[in-house]
Amino acid sequence: MSELDLTALAVLAAAAGDPAGYARRWKAENNRPVVGSFPMNFPSELVHATGALPVIVQESRTPITEGRSLLPEFYCSYTRSVADQAAVGELDVFDAFLLADHCVQLLGAADVIRWAKPEKPMHFAQFISSMDDPWSGAQVLDKVRALQAEVEEIVGVTVTPERLSHSIRLFNEDRRLLREFWDRRRAGTLRITSRQLQVLVKSSMVMDIEEHSEILRGLLANLDPDEAAPAGLVRLHLSGHFCAPPRPELLDLIEECGVLVVNDDLYHGARYIDTDVPEGVDPFDALALWYLDRNISAPCGTRVQRNVDWDEYLVSSVEQSGAQGVIVLMAKFCEPLMLYYPELRKALENRDVPVLLIETEHEGLAEEAVRTRVETFVERIHRNEMKVGSSVS
């Protein structure tokens, strides 16, 4: 087992904790635009190919104030936070915004940005969300081209196939490096907390990709041997939580309850890095293919596809990692997750995989109540294992 170089990790944590601050510094040093985009399927490579800094706008930890009078309280924490950030000026560093995902709540937040910052371009190239129709591929390619035109206009640079291919290689490399951490966690050869993994992936969404990869390479090179993970921990898979990361305190809390997280399909986790953009084909086509591929490698409740099921993916992922249970983390009011949750639960329960649902909110964490639920869940898994063990012996 190995541990991480905490100093290098702190650099990533600083960027992940203050994306706007990082973007301001980058802009001052590079004198080029910063373009904000939104989860969960935006191809950052396209912005990178212009020389601008692509940043996926993150949920802010600051309390929601002015945003309260702009989006209703029954919106997910990410969209309420984005609306608030627009209103209080936290998004001022961005020169433009680009959006490809159709989520009704996200569009509400995007409209707030348009209203609060009318001078900033805010383009929506709606990627089709029905993934397996005969026209899906052509539609996505059309929208990739539309995004290309928009970003070229914003930055004033033409995206040549060569530039785009170069950006694709860099982002693929960064994803590959990130996946090494996930692979090592699954294999049990790296002791890394979920909080740390979140830092790794979140920082990749907001940092210059080459700088990010360089730090990852350093981290991987300097992994020290360490003792094995304590015995008796319950192996769990964390699922869900679209668009915004769950609070790190929640991840800590889960792990404090005798849990070893062995895998996840969180957006600020494996979902974000699972799929590479194909190389060796036309790079614009490749971005369209990447979008379609993503829902196959990690199916998502925000997309619809007849021949792909998130529940089946989850079950097989659990089987592969040997997870003994699943915690579904749901940002409160996230409709696609609310819709898909019963299917996840049904599939897991049919395979006797225990499942626990935890809803999260921007405003905080009911720590003791959640701790009790996780502890009870862990005990339940222990009891089940003992029953299975005794009936086998």
Question: From the CB of 333, what's the least distance to other proteins, in Å?
Answer: 6
Span of 101-109, 289-297, 310-318, 380-388 interacting with ligand SF4 by CB under 6 A: 101-109
Does 160 help bind other proteins (rule: CB under 8 A)? no
| Runs of H (alpha helix) within 298-366 | 310-321, 335-350
113/83 Cα distance (integer angstroms): 7
Rounded CA-CA distance 291/47 in Å is: 16
Quick one: tokens of 203?
A: 């920082």
Stretch that binds other proteins, among 100-108, 183-191, 252-260, 281-289 (CB under 8 A): 100-108
Residue 335 touches ligand SF4, criterion: CB under 6 A? yes
By CB under 6 A, the residues from 70 to 89 that bind ligand SF4 are: 76, 78-79
Phi, psi dihedrals of residue 55, rounded to the nearest 5°: -135, 125
By a kind-dependent CB cut-off of 5 to 8 A, residue 134 interacts, out of other proteins, ligand SF4, none, with: other proteins
Q: Are strands 122-124 and 224-225 parallel, antiparallel or unpaired?
A: unpaired
Binder among 60, 105, 148, 239 for ligand SF4 (CB under 6 A): 105
Nearer to ligand SF4, 302 or 324 (CB): 302
Amino acid at 289: L
Residue whose tokens read 């869900």: 240
Instruction: Residue 139: name its binding partner from ligand SF4, other proteins, none (Cβ under 5 to 8 Å by kind).
Output: other proteins
Q: Measuring CA to CA, which residue among 379, 250, 274 is closest to residue 324?
A: 379
DSSP state of 237: E
Is residue 301 part of the contact set for other proteins (CB under 8 A)? yes
Per CB under 6 A, does 239 bind ligand SF4? no
Residue of the chain from 115, 249, 350, 387 that contacts other proteins (CB under 8 A) = 115
Print burial letters for 287-299: b (CB count within 10 Å at least 16), e (below 16): bbbbbbbbbeebb
Residue type, 211: E
Q: Residue 387: which of ligand SF4, other proteins, none does it interact with, CB under 5 to 8 A by kind? A: none
Q: How far is the CB of 106 from ligand SF4 (least distance, A)?
A: 4
- 155 close to 51: Cβ distance less than 8 angstroms: yes
Q: Which residues are 42's β-sheet partners?
A: none
Cα(56)–Cα(42) distance, integer angstroms: 8
The reply to whether 214 sits near other proteins by the rule CB under 8 A is no
Site for other proteins contains 105 (CB under 8 A) = yes
Residue closer to other proteins by CB (options 8, 107) is 107
Residue with smaller CB distance to ligand SF4, 261 or 331: 331
**Spatial distance between the Cα atoms of 380 and 347, rounded to a whole number of angstroms:** 19
Indicate whether 242 belongs to the interface with ligand SF4 (CB under 6 A): yes
**Strands (E) located in the chain:** 2-3, 34-37, 53-56, 96-99, 122-124, 224-225, 234-240, 259-264, 325-331, 355-360
The interface partner of residue 107, options being ligand SF4, other proteins, none and the CB cut-off 5 to 8 Å by kind, is other proteins
Among 243, 270, 314, 347, binds ligand SF4 (CB under 6 A): 243
Measured distance CA(278)–CA(289) in Å, rounded: 7
Nearest-approach distance from CB 301 to other proteins, in angstroms = 7
Sites of contact with ligand SF4 (CB under 6 A): 76, 78-79, 103, 105-106, 242-243, 302, 331, 334-336
Sites of contact with other proteins (CB under 8 A): 69-72, 74-75, 102-105, 107-108, 111-112, 114-115, 121-124, 126, 128-130, 133-135, 139, 301-302, 304, 306, 309, 332-333, 335-336, 338-343, 345-346
